[in-house]
Amino acid sequence: MLSMDEFSIIKQYFSTISPHRKEVILGIGDDAAGIRVPADQLLLVSTDTLVADVHFKMDWDAYDIASRAVRVNVSDIAAMGGQPVWMVLSLTLPNADQNWLERFSLGLQDQLQAYNMALVGGNLARGPLSITITIHGLVPEQHVVTRHGAQRGDRIYVSGLLGAAAQAVALLKKHSVPEPLMQALLHPKPRVEWRNILQTYATAAIDISDGLLADLNHIATASGLGACLMLDSIPIHPWVQQYQGDHAVEFVLEGGDDYELCFTVSPANEDAMRDALASQGLTAYRIGMMESAKGLRGQKGTQAPILLETKGYQHF
Ligand code: ADP
Ligand code: MG
Protein backbone atom coordinates (compact mmCIF):
# COMPACT_ATOMS: atom_id res chain seq x y z
CA MET A 1 0.00 0.00 0.00
CA LEU A 2 2.52 2.66 1.01
CA SER A 3 5.80 3.09 -0.89
CA MET A 4 7.87 1.98 2.12
CA ASP A 5 6.76 -1.51 3.12
CA GLU A 6 3.95 -1.35 5.68
CA PHE A 7 5.63 -3.74 8.11
CA SER A 8 8.93 -1.87 7.92
CA ILE A 9 7.08 1.33 8.81
CA ILE A 10 5.45 -0.29 11.81
CA LYS A 11 8.74 -1.82 12.92
CA GLN A 12 10.78 1.33 12.43
CA TYR A 13 8.40 3.97 13.72
CA PHE A 14 5.87 2.36 16.03
CA SER A 15 6.67 -1.04 17.56
CA THR A 16 9.42 -0.05 19.98
CA ILE A 17 8.64 3.53 20.99
CA SER A 18 6.47 3.07 24.05
CA PRO A 19 7.22 2.13 27.66
CA HIS A 20 6.52 -1.43 28.74
CA ARG A 21 3.41 -1.88 30.87
CA LYS A 22 2.93 -5.06 32.84
CA GLU A 23 -0.77 -5.32 31.89
CA VAL A 24 0.10 -5.72 28.19
CA ILE A 25 0.32 -9.46 27.55
CA LEU A 26 0.24 -9.15 23.74
CA GLY A 27 1.33 -5.86 22.20
CA ILE A 28 1.98 -4.82 18.58
CA GLY A 29 2.45 -7.72 16.15
CA ASP A 30 -0.56 -9.99 16.37
CA ASP A 31 -4.10 -9.68 15.01
CA ALA A 32 -5.18 -8.03 18.24
CA ALA A 33 -3.56 -6.81 21.42
CA GLY A 34 -4.13 -8.72 24.64
CA ILE A 35 -4.37 -6.78 27.87
CA ARG A 36 -5.03 -7.89 31.43
CA VAL A 37 -7.34 -5.37 33.08
CA PRO A 38 -6.65 -5.19 36.83
CA ALA A 39 -9.52 -6.31 39.07
CA ASP A 40 -11.70 -3.53 40.58
CA GLN A 41 -10.68 -1.10 37.86
CA LEU A 42 -13.07 0.28 35.31
CA LEU A 43 -11.64 0.33 31.78
CA LEU A 44 -12.24 3.75 30.19
CA VAL A 45 -12.20 3.86 26.38
CA SER A 46 -12.30 6.97 24.23
CA THR A 47 -11.36 7.90 20.67
CA ASP A 48 -10.65 11.11 18.79
CA THR A 49 -9.84 11.75 15.14
CA LEU A 50 -7.68 14.62 13.94
CA VAL A 51 -8.15 15.43 10.25
CA ALA A 52 -5.67 17.53 8.25
CA ASP A 53 -6.91 21.06 7.53
CA VAL A 54 -9.76 20.61 9.99
CA HIS A 55 -7.97 19.99 13.29
CA PHE A 56 -4.44 20.88 12.25
CA LYS A 57 -2.61 22.29 9.24
CA MET A 58 -0.77 20.00 6.84
CA ASP A 59 2.39 22.08 7.18
CA TRP A 60 2.67 21.72 10.97
CA ASP A 61 5.67 19.81 12.23
CA ALA A 62 4.55 16.15 12.49
CA TYR A 63 6.02 16.11 16.02
CA ASP A 64 3.42 18.69 17.06
CA ILE A 65 0.60 16.88 15.28
CA ALA A 66 1.43 13.68 17.20
CA SER A 67 1.70 15.59 20.46
CA ARG A 68 -1.67 17.24 20.08
CA ALA A 69 -3.33 14.00 18.95
CA VAL A 70 -2.14 12.11 22.03
CA ARG A 71 -2.81 14.92 24.48
CA VAL A 72 -6.42 15.58 23.49
CA ASN A 73 -7.08 11.88 23.95
CA VAL A 74 -5.32 11.79 27.34
CA SER A 75 -7.50 14.72 28.38
CA ASP A 76 -10.68 12.65 27.97
CA ILE A 77 -9.31 10.07 30.39
CA ALA A 78 -8.19 12.79 32.83
CA ALA A 79 -11.72 14.25 32.82
CA MET A 80 -13.09 10.93 34.11
CA GLY A 81 -10.62 10.90 37.00
CA GLY A 82 -8.70 8.13 35.22
CA GLN A 83 -5.13 7.26 34.43
CA PRO A 84 -4.22 6.82 30.75
CA VAL A 85 -2.57 3.43 30.15
CA TRP A 86 -2.72 2.12 26.57
CA MET A 87 -3.56 3.43 23.14
CA VAL A 88 -4.20 2.27 19.58
CA LEU A 89 -3.25 4.40 16.58
CA SER A 90 -4.95 4.43 13.17
CA LEU A 91 -2.99 6.46 10.70
CA THR A 92 -4.07 7.41 7.19
CA LEU A 93 -1.21 8.89 5.18
CA PRO A 94 -1.05 10.28 1.64
CA ASN A 95 2.44 8.74 1.26
CA ALA A 96 5.22 7.22 3.35
CA ASP A 97 7.30 10.38 3.79
CA GLN A 98 10.13 9.22 6.02
CA ASN A 99 10.94 12.66 7.40
CA TRP A 100 7.32 13.10 8.37
CA LEU A 101 7.14 9.62 9.93
CA GLU A 102 10.36 10.27 11.83
CA ARG A 103 9.01 13.47 13.40
CA PHE A 104 5.58 11.95 14.04
CA SER A 105 7.10 8.91 15.70
CA LEU A 106 9.32 11.08 17.91
CA GLY A 107 6.35 13.22 18.98
CA LEU A 108 4.40 10.08 19.73
CA GLN A 109 7.25 8.52 21.68
CA ASP A 110 7.75 11.59 23.86
CA GLN A 111 4.06 11.67 24.80
CA LEU A 112 3.91 7.92 25.46
CA GLN A 113 6.88 8.26 27.79
CA ALA A 114 5.51 11.37 29.48
CA TYR A 115 2.17 9.75 30.27
CA ASN A 116 3.59 6.22 30.74
CA MET A 117 1.32 4.72 28.11
CA ALA A 118 1.85 1.68 25.90
CA LEU A 119 1.08 1.76 22.18
CA VAL A 120 -0.54 -1.66 21.77
CA GLY A 121 -1.63 -1.65 18.13
CA GLY A 122 -2.96 0.28 15.22
CA ASN A 123 -3.53 0.44 11.52
CA LEU A 124 -1.96 2.07 8.48
CA ALA A 125 -3.80 3.11 5.34
CA ARG A 126 -3.18 5.36 2.37
CA GLY A 127 -5.46 8.37 1.98
CA PRO A 128 -5.92 11.96 3.11
CA LEU A 129 -3.88 12.61 6.27
CA SER A 130 -5.88 11.68 9.35
CA ILE A 131 -4.99 10.41 12.79
CA THR A 132 -7.30 8.42 15.02
CA ILE A 133 -6.23 7.48 18.52
CA THR A 134 -8.23 5.20 20.75
CA ILE A 135 -7.09 5.60 24.30
CA HIS A 136 -7.68 3.33 27.27
CA GLY A 137 -7.59 4.40 30.88
CA LEU A 138 -8.14 2.90 34.29
CA VAL A 139 -10.05 4.23 37.28
CA PRO A 140 -11.20 2.50 40.48
CA GLU A 141 -14.84 1.76 39.70
CA GLN A 142 -16.25 3.55 42.75
CA HIS A 143 -14.25 6.71 41.95
CA VAL A 144 -15.11 7.29 38.30
CA VAL A 145 -16.16 10.91 37.64
CA THR A 146 -18.93 11.46 35.10
CA ARG A 147 -20.84 14.37 33.57
CA HIS A 148 -24.11 13.43 35.23
CA GLY A 149 -23.27 13.61 38.93
CA ALA A 150 -23.67 17.33 39.66
CA GLN A 151 -26.16 18.34 42.37
CA ARG A 152 -28.08 21.56 42.82
CA GLY A 153 -25.93 23.97 44.86
CA ASP A 154 -22.62 22.39 43.79
CA ARG A 155 -19.91 24.96 43.07
CA ILE A 156 -18.38 25.05 39.59
CA TYR A 157 -14.59 25.16 39.21
CA VAL A 158 -12.07 25.27 36.37
CA SER A 159 -8.49 24.04 36.61
CA GLY A 160 -6.68 26.91 34.88
CA LEU A 161 -6.63 30.05 32.75
CA LEU A 162 -8.83 29.91 29.67
CA GLY A 163 -8.68 31.18 26.12
CA ALA A 164 -5.05 30.83 24.98
CA ALA A 165 -5.64 28.02 22.47
CA ALA A 166 -8.76 29.68 21.03
CA GLN A 167 -6.81 32.94 20.71
CA ALA A 168 -4.16 31.06 18.73
CA VAL A 169 -6.85 29.64 16.42
CA ALA A 170 -8.36 33.11 15.96
CA LEU A 171 -4.95 34.56 15.02
CA LEU A 172 -3.95 31.67 12.74
CA LYS A 173 -6.42 32.80 10.10
CA LYS A 174 -4.72 36.13 9.52
CA HIS A 175 -1.55 36.72 11.53
CA SER A 176 1.47 35.03 12.93
CA VAL A 177 0.75 33.59 16.35
CA PRO A 178 2.90 34.47 19.38
CA GLU A 179 4.84 31.43 20.58
CA PRO A 180 3.16 30.97 24.01
CA LEU A 181 -0.28 30.91 22.37
CA MET A 182 0.86 28.50 19.67
CA GLN A 183 2.30 26.22 22.37
CA ALA A 184 -1.08 26.21 24.14
CA LEU A 185 -2.73 25.04 20.93
CA LEU A 186 -0.10 22.50 19.87
CA HIS A 187 0.70 21.01 23.26
CA PRO A 188 -2.36 21.28 25.52
CA LYS A 189 -1.70 19.98 29.03
CA PRO A 190 -4.19 17.24 29.90
CA ARG A 191 -4.81 17.60 33.63
CA VAL A 192 -3.80 14.08 34.65
CA GLU A 193 -2.33 15.41 37.90
CA TRP A 194 -5.84 16.35 39.05
CA ARG A 195 -6.86 12.68 39.26
CA ASN A 196 -6.91 12.47 43.07
CA ILE A 197 -8.74 15.77 43.43
CA LEU A 198 -11.43 14.75 40.94
CA GLN A 199 -11.82 11.27 42.41
CA THR A 200 -12.11 12.62 45.94
CA TYR A 201 -14.11 15.84 45.53
CA ALA A 202 -15.74 16.21 42.11
CA THR A 203 -19.40 15.30 41.66
CA ALA A 204 -19.07 15.80 37.88
CA ALA A 205 -16.33 16.79 35.44
CA ILE A 206 -15.60 17.45 31.78
CA ASP A 207 -12.57 18.64 29.84
CA ILE A 208 -13.07 21.93 28.01
CA SER A 209 -12.60 21.07 24.34
CA ASP A 210 -15.55 22.87 22.71
CA GLY A 211 -15.76 25.97 24.93
CA LEU A 212 -16.63 26.61 28.58
CA LEU A 213 -20.33 27.22 27.96
CA ALA A 214 -20.83 24.27 25.63
CA ASP A 215 -18.98 21.90 27.93
CA LEU A 216 -20.53 23.16 31.18
CA ASN A 217 -23.85 22.75 29.40
CA HIS A 218 -23.03 19.05 28.96
CA ILE A 219 -22.63 18.69 32.73
CA ALA A 220 -25.83 20.68 33.35
CA THR A 221 -27.91 18.71 30.85
CA ALA A 222 -26.54 15.33 31.92
CA SER A 223 -27.22 16.22 35.56
CA GLY A 224 -30.74 17.56 34.84
CA LEU A 225 -29.74 21.04 36.08
CA GLY A 226 -28.78 24.53 34.99
CA ALA A 227 -25.96 26.80 36.12
CA CYS A 228 -25.12 30.40 36.91
CA LEU A 229 -21.62 31.73 36.22
CA MET A 230 -19.98 34.65 38.01
CA LEU A 231 -18.57 36.26 34.88
CA ASP A 232 -16.03 38.39 36.78
CA SER A 233 -14.48 35.25 38.28
CA ILE A 234 -13.70 33.39 35.07
CA PRO A 235 -9.91 33.08 34.84
CA ILE A 236 -8.74 34.52 31.55
CA HIS A 237 -5.30 34.06 30.06
CA PRO A 238 -3.51 37.45 30.17
CA TRP A 239 -2.75 37.38 26.43
CA VAL A 240 -6.44 36.86 25.70
CA GLN A 241 -7.28 39.79 27.92
CA GLN A 242 -4.84 41.86 25.89
CA TYR A 243 -6.17 40.79 22.48
CA GLN A 244 -9.86 40.75 23.33
CA GLY A 245 -10.18 43.65 25.77
CA ASP A 246 -13.82 44.14 26.76
CA HIS A 247 -14.80 41.01 24.83
CA ALA A 248 -12.44 38.69 26.71
CA VAL A 249 -15.14 37.05 28.85
CA GLU A 250 -17.41 36.42 25.88
CA PHE A 251 -14.42 35.05 24.00
CA VAL A 252 -13.48 32.47 26.63
CA LEU A 253 -17.10 31.39 27.12
CA GLU A 254 -17.09 30.23 23.47
CA GLY A 255 -13.44 29.38 22.86
CA GLY A 256 -12.39 25.75 23.12
CA ASP A 257 -9.17 23.73 22.80
CA ASP A 258 -7.72 24.57 26.23
CA TYR A 259 -8.36 21.14 27.74
CA GLU A 260 -8.65 22.55 31.22
CA LEU A 261 -11.10 20.72 33.47
CA CYS A 262 -14.50 22.06 34.48
CA PHE A 263 -15.88 20.27 37.54
CA THR A 264 -18.43 20.57 40.29
CA VAL A 265 -17.93 20.21 44.06
CA SER A 266 -20.40 20.08 46.92
CA PRO A 267 -20.08 23.19 49.15
CA ALA A 268 -19.61 20.82 52.10
CA ASN A 269 -16.31 19.62 50.57
CA GLU A 270 -14.87 22.92 49.39
CA ASP A 271 -12.67 23.56 52.44
CA ALA A 272 -11.18 20.09 52.34
CA MET A 273 -10.56 20.42 48.63
CA ARG A 274 -8.84 23.75 49.11
CA ASP A 275 -6.40 22.15 51.58
CA ALA A 276 -5.78 19.24 49.24
CA LEU A 277 -5.15 21.58 46.30
CA ALA A 278 -2.69 23.64 48.35
CA SER A 279 -0.78 20.55 49.44
CA GLN A 280 -0.52 19.38 45.83
CA GLY A 281 0.44 22.80 44.45
CA LEU A 282 -2.69 23.07 42.29
CA THR A 283 -4.96 26.09 41.76
CA ALA A 284 -8.68 25.86 41.02
CA TYR A 285 -10.90 28.82 40.17
CA ARG A 286 -14.49 28.93 41.41
CA ILE A 287 -16.68 30.34 38.66
CA GLY A 288 -20.29 29.61 39.56
CA MET A 289 -22.96 27.34 40.94
CA MET A 290 -25.28 24.59 39.71
CA GLU A 291 -28.95 25.50 39.96
CA SER A 292 -32.20 23.64 39.48
CA ALA A 293 -33.46 26.09 36.82
CA LYS A 294 -32.39 24.72 33.42
CA GLY A 295 -30.16 26.75 31.09
CA LEU A 296 -26.96 28.71 31.66
CA ARG A 297 -26.92 32.18 33.14
CA GLY A 298 -24.16 34.70 33.75
CA GLN A 299 -23.90 37.40 36.36
CA LYS A 300 -21.65 40.46 36.39
CA GLY A 301 -21.03 41.79 39.90
CA THR A 302 -24.38 42.16 41.64
CA GLN A 303 -26.37 42.67 38.43
CA ALA A 304 -29.28 40.36 37.62
CA PRO A 305 -28.20 37.16 35.82
CA ILE A 306 -28.66 37.09 32.04
CA LEU A 307 -29.29 34.04 29.89
CA LEU A 308 -26.20 32.80 28.03
CA GLU A 309 -26.50 31.07 24.68
CA THR A 310 -24.45 27.95 24.15
CA LYS A 311 -23.04 27.64 20.67
CA GLY A 312 -19.62 26.08 21.19
CA TYR A 313 -17.84 24.27 18.41
CA GLN A 314 -20.17 22.32 16.14
CA HIS A 315 -18.80 19.97 13.48
CA PHE A 316 -22.05 19.85 11.47
P1 ADP B 1 -4.00 -6.84 10.45
O2 ADP B 1 -3.74 -6.96 8.98
O3 ADP B 1 -4.15 -8.16 11.14
O4 ADP B 1 -5.09 -5.89 10.78
P5 ADP B 1 -1.72 -5.18 10.39
O6 ADP B 1 -0.91 -5.88 9.40
O7 ADP B 1 -2.53 -4.00 9.97
O8 ADP B 1 -2.67 -6.23 11.10
O9 ADP B 1 -0.81 -4.73 11.60
C10 ADP B 1 0.17 -5.60 12.13
C11 ADP B 1 0.41 -5.25 13.60
O12 ADP B 1 0.93 -3.94 13.68
C13 ADP B 1 -0.87 -5.28 14.44
O14 ADP B 1 -0.52 -5.77 15.72
C15 ADP B 1 -1.27 -3.84 14.49
O16 ADP B 1 -2.00 -3.57 15.68
C17 ADP B 1 0.08 -3.13 14.49
N18 ADP B 1 0.00 -1.79 13.86
C19 ADP B 1 -0.42 -1.49 12.61
N20 ADP B 1 -0.33 -0.16 12.37
C21 ADP B 1 0.14 0.39 13.52
C22 ADP B 1 0.43 1.71 13.92
N23 ADP B 1 0.25 2.78 13.13
N24 ADP B 1 0.88 1.90 15.18
C25 ADP B 1 1.04 0.86 16.01
N26 ADP B 1 0.82 -0.41 15.69
C27 ADP B 1 0.36 -0.65 14.46
MG1 MG C 1 -5.42 -9.50 11.33
| DSSP string for the chain | --SS-HHHHIIIIITTSS---TTEEE-BTBSS-EE-PPTTEEEEEEEEEEEBTTTB-TTS-HHHHHHHHHHHHHHHHHTTT-EEEEEEEEEEESS--HHHHHHHHHHHHHHHHHTT-EEEEEEEEESS-EEEEEEEEEEEGGG---SS---TTPEEEESS-B-HHHHHHHHHTTS---HHHHHHHHS----GGGHHHHHHHEEEEEE-SS-HHHHHHHHHHHHT-EEEEEGGGS-B-HHHHHHHGGGHHHHHHH------EEEEE-GGGHHHHHHHHHHHT---EEEEEEESSSEEEEE-TTSPPEEE--------
Q: How far is the CA of 68 from the centre of ligand 2 (A)?
A: 28
Using the atom order of ligand 1, give the atom closest to the CA of residue 27.
14
Q: Which of 1, 8, 10, 11 to mutate to test the pocket of ligand 1 (most atoms within 8 A of CB)?
A: 10
Quick one: pLDDT at residue 1? Answer: 47
Strand arrangement of the beta sheet that strand 295-299 belongs to: 202-207, 261-265, 155-158, 285-291, 226-230, 295-299, 306-308
Using the atom order of ligand 1, give the atom closest to the CA of residue 29.
14
Q: How far is the CA of 32 from the centre of ligand 2 (A)?
A: 7
Q: State the burial class of residue 218 (Cβ atoms within 10 Å of its Cβ: 0-12, 13-18, 19+).
A: middle
Quick one: pLDDT at residue 313? Answer: 61
Considering only CA atoms, which residue is closest to atom 3 of ligand 1? Answer: 31
Considering only CA atoms, which residue is closest to atom 5 of ligand 1? Answer: 123
Taking a C-beta distance cutoff of 8 angstroms, is the pair 255, 203 a contact? no
Considering only CA atoms, which residue is closest to atom 18 of ligand 1? Answer: 122
With a cut of 50, list the residues of the chain below it in pLDDT.
1-2
Considering only CA atoms, which residue is closest to atom 24 of ligand 1? Answer: 122
Q: How far is the CA of 147 from the centre of ligand 1 (A)?
A: 34
Q: Which of 28, 93, 108, 120 to mutate to test the pocket of ligand 1 (most atoms within 8 A of CB)?
A: 28
Residues pairing with 46 in the sheet: 135
Quick one: pLDDT at residue 310? Answer: 78
Using the atom order of ligand 1, give the atom closest to the CA of residue 90.
23
Cα distance between residue 142 and residue 297, in whole Å: 32
Ligand 1 surroundings by CB, under 6 angstroms: 10, 14, 28-31, 89, 91, 119, 121-124
Taking a C-beta distance cutoff of 8 angstroms, is the pair 38, 136 a contact? no
Quick one: pLDDT at residue 5? Answer: 87
What is the percent of the chain where pLDDT is above 90? Answer: 93
Q: Which ligand is nearest to the CA of 123?
A: 1
Q: How far is the CA of 29 from the centre of ligand 2 (A)?
A: 9
Q: How far is the CA of 86 from the centre of ligand 1 (A)?
A: 15
Quick one: pLDDT at residue 309? Answer: 85
Cα distance between residue 107 and residue 4, in whole Å: 20
